[in-house]
Amino acid sequence: MQKFTMMRATLCIWILSAVVCVGRGHHHEGHDQDTALDSSADSVSLVTSANREFAYRMYKKLAAHAESQGKNIFFSPASLSIALAALSVGARGETHRQLFSGLGFNSSLLTQTVVDQSFRTLLQRANKTSQDISEGTAVFVDNHFKPQPEFLDVLKQSYFADGFEVDFTKSTDSADTINKYVEEKTNGKIDKLVESLDPSTVMYLVSYIFHKGKWATPFDPKLTKKGMFTVDESTKVPVQMMNMERQFDTYYDQAINTSVLHLPFSNSYSMLLLLPDDMATLENDICPSQVTKWLKGKVSRAYDVYIPKFSIKTSYSLKDILIEMGMTDMFSKRADLSGISEERELHVSEVVHKAALDVDEAGATVAAATGIEFKFFSSTIYPVLKFNRPFMVLITEHTTENILFMGKIINPNI
Protein backbone atom coordinates (compact mmCIF):
# COMPACT_ATOMS: atom_id res chain seq x y z
CA MET A 1 0.00 0.00 0.00
CA GLN A 2 1.04 3.59 -0.54
CA LYS A 3 1.88 5.77 2.43
CA PHE A 4 -1.15 7.48 3.98
CA THR A 5 -0.81 11.19 4.72
CA MET A 6 -4.20 12.50 5.94
CA MET A 7 -7.27 11.57 7.97
CA ARG A 8 -10.89 12.65 7.68
CA ALA A 9 -12.76 13.62 10.86
CA THR A 10 -15.74 11.28 10.41
CA LEU A 11 -14.65 7.68 10.25
CA CYS A 12 -16.50 4.41 9.83
CA ILE A 13 -15.71 0.85 8.84
CA TRP A 14 -17.76 -1.69 6.94
CA ILE A 15 -17.17 -5.39 7.37
CA LEU A 16 -18.34 -7.64 4.56
CA SER A 17 -18.19 -11.35 4.01
CA ALA A 18 -18.91 -13.30 0.86
CA VAL A 19 -18.93 -17.05 0.49
CA VAL A 20 -19.61 -19.40 -2.39
CA CYS A 21 -19.57 -23.16 -2.90
CA VAL A 22 -19.74 -24.26 -6.52
CA GLY A 23 -20.47 -27.65 -8.07
CA ARG A 24 -19.10 -28.84 -11.37
CA GLY A 25 -18.83 -32.11 -13.31
CA HIS A 26 -16.56 -35.09 -12.88
CA HIS A 27 -1.66 -4.92 19.49
CA HIS A 28 -2.93 -7.36 20.84
CA GLU A 29 -5.32 -7.71 23.71
CA GLY A 30 -4.12 -10.23 26.23
CA HIS A 31 -0.43 -10.23 25.27
CA ASP A 32 0.42 -10.49 28.94
CA GLN A 33 -1.82 -13.47 29.65
CA ASP A 34 0.27 -16.25 31.10
CA THR A 35 -2.50 -18.82 30.83
CA ALA A 36 -2.48 -18.89 27.03
CA LEU A 37 -2.10 -22.31 25.50
CA ASP A 38 1.34 -23.27 24.28
CA SER A 39 0.19 -26.10 22.09
CA SER A 40 -0.71 -25.03 18.56
CA ALA A 41 -2.90 -28.08 18.05
CA ASP A 42 -4.85 -27.41 21.26
CA SER A 43 -5.25 -23.76 20.30
CA VAL A 44 -6.61 -24.61 16.85
CA SER A 45 -8.97 -27.10 18.47
CA LEU A 46 -10.28 -24.44 20.87
CA VAL A 47 -10.77 -21.95 18.04
CA THR A 48 -12.59 -24.44 15.80
CA SER A 49 -14.77 -25.47 18.74
CA ALA A 50 -15.68 -21.82 19.33
CA ASN A 51 -16.36 -21.38 15.61
CA ARG A 52 -18.84 -24.28 15.70
CA GLU A 53 -20.67 -22.86 18.71
CA PHE A 54 -20.79 -19.44 17.02
CA ALA A 55 -22.29 -21.07 13.90
CA TYR A 56 -25.31 -22.46 15.76
CA ARG A 57 -25.86 -19.31 17.80
CA MET A 58 -25.81 -17.23 14.62
CA TYR A 59 -28.17 -19.64 12.86
CA LYS A 60 -30.68 -19.47 15.70
CA LYS A 61 -30.54 -15.67 15.68
CA LEU A 62 -31.15 -15.61 11.92
CA ALA A 63 -34.00 -18.13 12.22
CA ALA A 64 -35.67 -16.10 14.97
CA HIS A 65 -35.35 -12.78 13.17
CA ALA A 66 -38.54 -11.41 11.68
CA GLU A 67 -36.88 -10.80 8.30
CA SER A 68 -36.09 -14.52 8.01
CA GLN A 69 -39.59 -15.81 8.76
CA GLY A 70 -40.77 -18.04 5.93
CA LYS A 71 -37.57 -17.48 3.97
CA ASN A 72 -34.53 -19.55 3.06
CA ILE A 73 -31.56 -19.14 5.38
CA PHE A 74 -28.06 -19.57 4.03
CA PHE A 75 -24.79 -18.21 5.38
CA SER A 76 -21.17 -19.07 6.08
CA PRO A 77 -20.25 -19.15 9.78
CA ALA A 78 -16.61 -19.63 8.77
CA SER A 79 -16.58 -16.43 6.73
CA LEU A 80 -18.16 -14.43 9.54
CA SER A 81 -15.76 -15.83 12.15
CA ILE A 82 -12.78 -14.91 9.99
CA ALA A 83 -14.04 -11.36 9.38
CA LEU A 84 -14.83 -10.68 13.04
CA ALA A 85 -11.60 -12.28 14.28
CA ALA A 86 -9.68 -10.08 11.85
CA LEU A 87 -11.51 -7.03 13.25
CA SER A 88 -10.62 -8.08 16.79
CA VAL A 89 -6.94 -7.62 15.86
CA GLY A 90 -7.56 -3.87 16.00
CA ALA A 91 -9.99 -3.81 18.93
CA ARG A 92 -9.02 -2.92 22.48
CA GLY A 93 -10.58 -2.87 25.94
CA GLU A 94 -14.28 -3.60 26.27
CA THR A 95 -14.74 -3.63 22.47
CA HIS A 96 -12.23 -6.45 22.22
CA ARG A 97 -13.77 -8.33 25.14
CA GLN A 98 -17.20 -8.20 23.49
CA LEU A 99 -15.83 -9.48 20.18
CA PHE A 100 -13.99 -12.36 21.85
CA SER A 101 -17.04 -13.25 23.94
CA GLY A 102 -19.38 -13.01 20.96
CA LEU A 103 -17.13 -15.29 18.92
CA GLY A 104 -16.99 -17.76 21.80
CA PHE A 105 -13.27 -17.41 22.47
CA ASN A 106 -12.22 -18.19 26.04
CA SER A 107 -10.02 -15.21 26.91
CA SER A 108 -8.41 -17.10 29.80
CA LEU A 109 -7.03 -19.65 27.33
CA LEU A 110 -6.80 -17.73 24.07
CA THR A 111 -4.94 -14.49 23.48
CA GLN A 112 -5.41 -12.49 20.29
CA THR A 113 -2.03 -13.68 19.06
CA VAL A 114 -2.98 -17.33 19.57
CA VAL A 115 -6.30 -16.77 17.76
CA ASP A 116 -4.45 -15.11 14.87
CA GLN A 117 -2.02 -18.02 14.62
CA SER A 118 -4.88 -20.53 14.74
CA PHE A 119 -6.73 -18.84 11.88
CA ARG A 120 -3.50 -18.76 9.91
CA THR A 121 -3.19 -22.53 10.41
CA LEU A 122 -6.83 -23.13 9.43
CA LEU A 123 -6.59 -20.95 6.33
CA GLN A 124 -3.32 -22.57 5.27
CA ARG A 125 -4.83 -26.00 5.75
CA ALA A 126 -7.95 -25.17 3.73
CA ASN A 127 -6.08 -23.55 0.86
CA LYS A 128 -3.43 -26.26 0.62
CA THR A 129 -5.43 -29.44 1.10
CA SER A 130 -7.80 -28.88 -1.81
CA GLN A 131 -7.85 -26.96 -5.05
CA ASP A 132 -11.63 -26.82 -4.66
CA ILE A 133 -11.63 -24.27 -1.85
CA SER A 134 -10.22 -20.78 -1.43
CA GLU A 135 -10.46 -18.68 1.74
CA GLY A 136 -9.03 -15.31 2.64
CA THR A 137 -9.61 -11.65 3.44
CA ALA A 138 -8.99 -8.25 1.92
CA VAL A 139 -8.82 -4.75 3.34
CA PHE A 140 -9.69 -1.68 1.28
CA VAL A 141 -8.33 1.50 2.89
CA ASP A 142 -9.09 5.10 1.98
CA ASN A 143 -6.07 6.93 0.63
CA HIS A 144 -6.52 9.68 3.27
CA PHE A 145 -6.59 7.23 6.18
CA LYS A 146 -3.52 5.80 7.90
CA PRO A 147 -4.08 2.51 9.74
CA GLN A 148 -1.62 1.15 12.27
CA PRO A 149 1.10 -0.77 10.38
CA GLU A 150 0.90 -3.65 12.90
CA PHE A 151 -2.82 -4.11 12.16
CA LEU A 152 -2.21 -4.43 8.43
CA ASP A 153 0.74 -6.74 9.01
CA VAL A 154 -1.27 -9.17 11.19
CA LEU A 155 -4.10 -9.20 8.65
CA LYS A 156 -1.62 -10.02 5.90
CA GLN A 157 0.30 -12.67 7.84
CA SER A 158 -2.53 -14.44 9.70
CA TYR A 159 -5.66 -13.76 7.64
CA PHE A 160 -4.01 -13.78 4.19
CA ALA A 161 -5.35 -10.28 3.55
CA ASP A 162 -4.83 -8.53 0.26
CA GLY A 163 -4.44 -4.76 0.72
CA PHE A 164 -5.81 -2.05 -1.55
CA GLU A 165 -5.85 1.73 -1.40
CA VAL A 166 -8.98 3.43 -2.73
CA ASP A 167 -10.63 6.86 -2.68
CA PHE A 168 -13.95 6.38 -0.89
CA THR A 169 -15.05 9.90 -1.88
CA LYS A 170 -15.40 8.40 -5.36
CA SER A 171 -18.10 6.04 -4.18
CA THR A 172 -18.94 4.43 -7.53
CA ASP A 173 -15.32 3.66 -8.40
CA SER A 174 -14.61 2.33 -4.89
CA ALA A 175 -17.68 0.10 -4.92
CA ASP A 176 -16.70 -1.22 -8.35
CA THR A 177 -13.19 -2.03 -7.09
CA ILE A 178 -14.51 -4.01 -4.12
CA ASN A 179 -17.21 -5.77 -6.12
CA LYS A 180 -14.80 -6.79 -8.88
CA TYR A 181 -12.40 -8.24 -6.31
CA VAL A 182 -15.14 -10.28 -4.61
CA GLU A 183 -16.58 -11.39 -7.94
CA GLU A 184 -13.17 -12.71 -8.99
CA LYS A 185 -12.55 -14.49 -5.69
CA THR A 186 -15.99 -16.17 -5.78
CA ASN A 187 -15.86 -17.06 -9.49
CA GLY A 188 -18.67 -14.66 -10.29
CA LYS A 189 -21.16 -16.04 -7.76
CA ILE A 190 -21.16 -12.90 -5.59
CA ASP A 191 -21.09 -10.06 -8.12
CA LYS A 192 -22.34 -7.13 -6.04
CA LEU A 193 -21.31 -7.34 -2.42
CA VAL A 194 -21.35 -3.56 -2.01
CA GLU A 195 -24.67 -1.88 -2.81
CA SER A 196 -23.69 1.66 -1.82
CA LEU A 197 -20.90 3.55 -0.08
CA ASP A 198 -20.96 6.32 2.49
CA PRO A 199 -18.30 8.98 1.73
CA SER A 200 -17.22 8.89 5.40
CA THR A 201 -16.10 5.26 4.99
CA VAL A 202 -12.40 4.76 5.58
CA MET A 203 -12.07 0.99 5.41
CA TYR A 204 -13.79 -2.12 4.08
CA LEU A 205 -12.82 -5.47 5.55
CA VAL A 206 -13.88 -8.39 3.34
CA SER A 207 -13.69 -12.13 3.98
CA TYR A 208 -14.53 -14.67 1.30
CA ILE A 209 -14.88 -18.42 0.87
CA PHE A 210 -15.23 -20.18 -2.45
CA HIS A 211 -15.94 -23.90 -2.44
CA LYS A 212 -16.26 -25.95 -5.61
CA GLY A 213 -18.01 -29.01 -4.27
CA LYS A 214 -18.10 -31.98 -6.63
CA TRP A 215 -20.06 -34.99 -5.39
CA ALA A 216 -17.91 -38.04 -4.76
CA THR A 217 -20.66 -39.90 -6.67
CA PRO A 218 -22.41 -37.51 -9.11
CA PHE A 219 -26.12 -37.77 -9.89
CA ASP A 220 -27.08 -38.86 -13.41
CA PRO A 221 -28.77 -35.90 -15.21
CA LYS A 222 -30.87 -38.40 -17.21
CA LEU A 223 -32.65 -39.38 -13.99
CA THR A 224 -33.59 -35.81 -13.04
CA LYS A 225 -37.37 -35.40 -13.36
CA LYS A 226 -39.99 -32.77 -12.57
CA GLY A 227 -41.46 -33.03 -9.07
CA MET A 228 -43.30 -30.97 -6.47
CA PHE A 229 -41.89 -29.37 -3.33
CA THR A 230 -44.22 -28.68 -0.41
CA VAL A 231 -43.37 -25.25 1.00
CA ASP A 232 -46.22 -25.31 3.54
CA GLU A 233 -49.73 -26.69 3.92
CA SER A 234 -51.10 -24.38 1.23
CA THR A 235 -48.13 -23.97 -1.12
CA LYS A 236 -46.45 -26.39 -3.51
CA VAL A 237 -43.88 -25.42 -6.14
CA PRO A 238 -42.44 -27.36 -9.11
CA VAL A 239 -38.79 -28.44 -8.89
CA GLN A 240 -36.34 -30.58 -10.81
CA MET A 241 -35.67 -33.63 -8.63
CA MET A 242 -32.32 -35.36 -8.91
CA ASN A 243 -32.40 -39.09 -8.22
CA MET A 244 -29.92 -41.81 -7.28
CA GLU A 245 -30.16 -45.38 -5.98
CA ARG A 246 -27.12 -46.62 -4.05
CA GLN A 247 -25.59 -47.04 -0.60
CA PHE A 248 -25.73 -43.84 1.50
CA ASP A 249 -24.47 -43.04 4.97
CA THR A 250 -27.49 -42.13 7.08
CA TYR A 251 -28.53 -41.57 10.67
CA TYR A 252 -31.94 -41.31 12.31
CA ASP A 253 -32.00 -39.24 15.49
CA GLN A 254 -34.94 -40.58 17.48
CA ALA A 255 -34.60 -37.93 20.18
CA ILE A 256 -35.61 -35.16 17.76
CA ASN A 257 -37.18 -37.29 15.00
CA THR A 258 -34.70 -36.15 12.37
CA SER A 259 -33.22 -38.09 9.46
CA VAL A 260 -29.68 -37.27 8.36
CA LEU A 261 -28.18 -37.98 4.95
CA HIS A 262 -24.42 -37.72 4.50
CA LEU A 263 -23.27 -36.74 0.98
CA PRO A 264 -19.48 -36.54 0.63
CA PHE A 265 -17.74 -34.32 -1.88
CA SER A 266 -14.65 -35.49 -3.71
CA ASN A 267 -12.47 -33.53 -1.24
CA SER A 268 -12.38 -33.40 2.57
CA TYR A 269 -15.83 -31.80 2.86
CA SER A 270 -19.35 -33.19 3.09
CA MET A 271 -22.93 -32.01 2.94
CA LEU A 272 -25.34 -33.11 5.65
CA LEU A 273 -29.02 -32.98 4.71
CA LEU A 274 -31.39 -32.91 7.67
CA LEU A 275 -35.07 -33.86 7.49
CA PRO A 276 -36.93 -33.27 10.78
CA ASP A 277 -40.52 -34.17 11.57
CA ASP A 278 -40.70 -30.71 13.14
CA MET A 279 -38.33 -27.97 11.95
CA ALA A 280 -38.67 -25.88 15.11
CA THR A 281 -37.54 -28.82 17.25
CA LEU A 282 -34.46 -29.37 15.11
CA GLU A 283 -33.60 -25.67 15.06
CA ASN A 284 -33.93 -25.46 18.83
CA ASP A 285 -31.80 -28.53 19.55
CA ILE A 286 -29.11 -28.48 16.87
CA CYS A 287 -25.63 -28.07 18.35
CA PRO A 288 -22.07 -29.33 17.81
CA SER A 289 -22.57 -32.49 19.88
CA GLN A 290 -25.61 -33.42 17.78
CA VAL A 291 -23.61 -33.16 14.55
CA THR A 292 -20.74 -35.17 16.06
CA LYS A 293 -23.24 -37.87 17.05
CA TRP A 294 -24.68 -37.96 13.52
CA LEU A 295 -21.27 -38.23 11.90
CA LYS A 296 -19.93 -40.90 14.24
CA GLY A 297 -23.13 -42.93 14.31
CA LYS A 298 -23.96 -42.97 10.61
CA VAL A 299 -24.57 -46.34 8.96
CA SER A 300 -24.52 -47.35 5.31
CA ARG A 301 -27.85 -48.36 3.76
CA ALA A 302 -29.31 -48.59 0.27
CA TYR A 303 -31.77 -45.79 -0.52
CA ASP A 304 -33.59 -44.27 -3.45
CA VAL A 305 -32.72 -40.60 -2.87
CA TYR A 306 -34.42 -37.55 -4.39
CA ILE A 307 -32.92 -34.06 -3.94
CA PRO A 308 -34.11 -30.87 -5.67
CA LYS A 309 -31.85 -28.88 -7.96
CA PHE A 310 -31.84 -25.26 -6.90
CA SER A 311 -29.97 -21.98 -6.90
CA ILE A 312 -30.45 -19.38 -4.17
CA LYS A 313 -28.79 -16.18 -2.98
CA THR A 314 -29.12 -14.56 0.43
CA SER A 315 -28.11 -11.16 1.80
CA TYR A 316 -27.95 -10.09 5.44
CA SER A 317 -27.31 -6.93 7.37
CA LEU A 318 -26.01 -8.35 10.63
CA LYS A 319 -25.53 -5.23 12.76
CA ASP A 320 -28.67 -5.76 14.87
CA ILE A 321 -28.02 -9.50 15.32
CA LEU A 322 -24.40 -8.96 16.40
CA ILE A 323 -25.59 -6.34 18.89
CA GLU A 324 -28.06 -8.91 20.25
CA MET A 325 -25.10 -11.29 20.60
CA GLY A 326 -23.31 -8.76 22.80
CA MET A 327 -21.02 -7.08 20.26
CA THR A 328 -22.41 -3.60 20.90
CA ASP A 329 -19.58 -1.14 21.42
CA MET A 330 -17.94 -1.56 18.00
CA PHE A 331 -21.01 0.06 16.40
CA SER A 332 -21.15 3.01 18.80
CA LYS A 333 -19.16 6.01 19.99
CA ARG A 334 -17.78 3.71 22.71
CA ALA A 335 -15.87 1.73 20.06
CA ASP A 336 -12.20 1.28 20.90
CA LEU A 337 -10.53 0.37 17.63
CA SER A 338 -7.26 2.07 18.52
CA GLY A 339 -5.38 -0.95 17.24
CA ILE A 340 -6.54 0.11 13.78
CA SER A 341 -6.14 3.87 14.25
CA GLU A 342 -5.86 6.39 17.08
CA GLU A 343 -8.80 8.29 15.57
CA ARG A 344 -11.41 8.30 18.35
CA GLU A 345 -14.48 8.38 16.12
CA LEU A 346 -13.59 5.15 14.35
CA HIS A 347 -16.39 2.59 14.55
CA VAL A 348 -17.98 -0.23 12.57
CA SER A 349 -20.96 1.02 10.59
CA GLU A 350 -22.27 -2.29 9.23
CA VAL A 351 -21.57 -6.00 8.82
CA VAL A 352 -22.90 -7.33 5.52
CA HIS A 353 -22.98 -10.98 4.54
CA LYS A 354 -23.99 -12.40 1.15
CA ALA A 355 -24.17 -16.03 0.17
CA ALA A 356 -24.96 -18.13 -2.89
CA LEU A 357 -25.76 -21.81 -3.24
CA ASP A 358 -26.20 -23.92 -6.37
CA VAL A 359 -26.99 -27.63 -6.11
CA ASP A 360 -27.02 -29.79 -9.21
CA GLU A 361 -26.15 -33.31 -10.38
CA ALA A 362 -22.43 -32.63 -10.27
CA GLY A 363 -22.20 -30.98 -6.88
CA ALA A 364 -22.90 -27.84 -4.89
CA THR A 365 -21.89 -24.23 -5.41
CA VAL A 366 -22.39 -22.41 -2.14
CA ALA A 367 -21.80 -19.26 -0.17
CA ALA A 368 -23.47 -20.56 2.96
CA ALA A 369 -25.36 -23.59 4.22
CA THR A 370 -28.71 -25.06 3.25
CA GLY A 371 -31.13 -27.50 4.82
CA ILE A 372 -32.75 -30.57 3.32
CA GLU A 373 -35.45 -32.81 4.71
CA PHE A 374 -35.88 -36.54 4.12
CA LYS A 375 -39.12 -38.38 3.61
CA PHE A 376 -39.29 -42.16 3.93
CA PHE A 377 -41.42 -44.28 1.62
CA SER A 378 -41.73 -48.02 1.31
CA SER A 379 -40.32 -49.56 -1.88
CA THR A 380 -39.95 -53.04 -3.24
CA ILE A 381 -36.33 -52.25 -4.07
CA TYR A 382 -35.04 -49.39 -1.92
CA PRO A 383 -36.63 -47.24 0.77
CA VAL A 384 -36.99 -43.65 -0.44
CA LEU A 385 -35.47 -40.47 1.01
CA LYS A 386 -37.29 -37.62 -0.69
CA PHE A 387 -36.35 -34.02 -0.02
CA ASN A 388 -39.66 -32.58 -1.14
CA ARG A 389 -40.34 -30.29 1.81
CA PRO A 390 -38.29 -27.78 3.88
CA PHE A 391 -34.91 -29.11 4.99
CA MET A 392 -31.66 -28.03 6.63
CA VAL A 393 -28.14 -28.41 5.30
CA LEU A 394 -24.61 -28.22 6.71
CA ILE A 395 -21.33 -28.27 4.81
CA THR A 396 -18.56 -29.44 7.11
CA GLU A 397 -14.89 -30.39 7.00
CA HIS A 398 -14.25 -34.03 7.91
CA THR A 399 -11.35 -33.63 10.35
CA THR A 400 -12.27 -30.51 12.30
CA GLU A 401 -16.07 -30.60 11.74
CA ASN A 402 -15.69 -26.88 11.01
CA ILE A 403 -18.90 -25.53 9.47
CA LEU A 404 -18.34 -23.71 6.19
CA PHE A 405 -22.01 -23.25 5.37
CA MET A 406 -25.30 -23.65 7.18
CA GLY A 407 -28.97 -22.97 6.54
CA LYS A 408 -32.40 -24.23 5.62
CA ILE A 409 -34.31 -24.40 2.37
CA ILE A 410 -37.93 -23.37 2.73
CA ASN A 411 -38.52 -22.81 -1.00
CA PRO A 412 -35.89 -23.96 -3.54
CA ASN A 413 -37.35 -21.64 -6.20
CA ILE A 414 -36.54 -18.33 -4.50
Cβ atoms 22, 366 nearer than 8 A: yes
For domain 12-213+312-357, the question of CATH label 3.30.70.20 is answered with no
pLDDT of 239 > 60? The answer is: yes
> Is-contact 108 33, C-beta < 8 A?
yes
Instruction: Give the chain's mean pLDDT.
Output: 82
**pLDDT category of residue 199 using cuts at 50, 70 and 90:** confident
> Helix (H, G, I), strand (E, B), or coil: what is residue 47?
helix
Domains of the chain by residue range: 12-213+312-357, 217-309+369-409
Is 37 a residue whose pLDDT tops 80? no
Q: Residue 276: name the closest of 408, 85, 92, 128 by CA.
A: 408
Q: How far apart are CA 414 and CA 409, in angstroms?
A: 9
The confidence score (pLDDT) of residue 281 equals 94
* Phi, then psi, of 20 in degrees rounded to 5: -145, 140
Least confident of 7-21, 105-119, 366-380: 366-380
Distance CA 75, CA 404 (A): 9
pLDDT digits (tens, 9 = 90+) for 260-287: 999 998 878 889 999 999 999 999 999 9
pLDDT band for 209, please (50, 70, 90 cuts): confident
At 2 the pLDDT is 39
Backbone angles phi, psi at 275, to 5 degrees: -115, 100
**203 and 166 Cβ atoms separated by less than 8 Å:** no
| Largest Cα span, the chain | 76
User: Residue 246: pLDDT band by 50, 70, 90 thresholds?
Assistant: very high
pLDDT at 348 > cutoff 80: yes
Task: Give 298-345 pLDDT, tens digit per residue.
Answer: 999 999 999 998 888 888 889 899 999 999 999 888 989 999 988 767
pTM for the complete prediction?
A: 0.85
pLDDT of 10: 37
User: In CATH terms, are 12-213+312-357 and 217-309+369-409 the same topology?
Assistant: no
Q: What is the pLDDT of residues 46-98, one digit of tens each?
A: 999 999 999 999 999 999 986 777 889 999 999 899 999 999 999 999 999 99
Residue 326 DSSP symbol: T
Secondary element (H or E) of residue 314: strand 310-317
Q: Domain 217-309+369-409 maps to which CATH number in 3.40.50.2000, 2.40.50.840, 2.30.39.10, 3.40.50.300?
A: 2.30.39.10
Confidence band, pLDDT 50/70/90 cuts, at residue 34: very low
pLDDT of 381: 53
**Residue 14 pLDDT:** 61
What is the model's pLDDT at position 18?
Answer: 61
Q: Which residue has the higher pLDDT, 27 or 329?
A: 329
* Residue 214 confidence (pLDDT): 85
Q: Is the dihedral of CA 318, 88, 402, 292 positive or negative?
A: negative
pLDDT at 35 over 70: no
Give tens-digit pLDDT for 147-158.
899 999 999 999
User: Pick the residue with more confidence: 222 or 345?
Assistant: 222
**Rounded to whole angstroms, how far apart are CA atoms 200 and 73?**
31
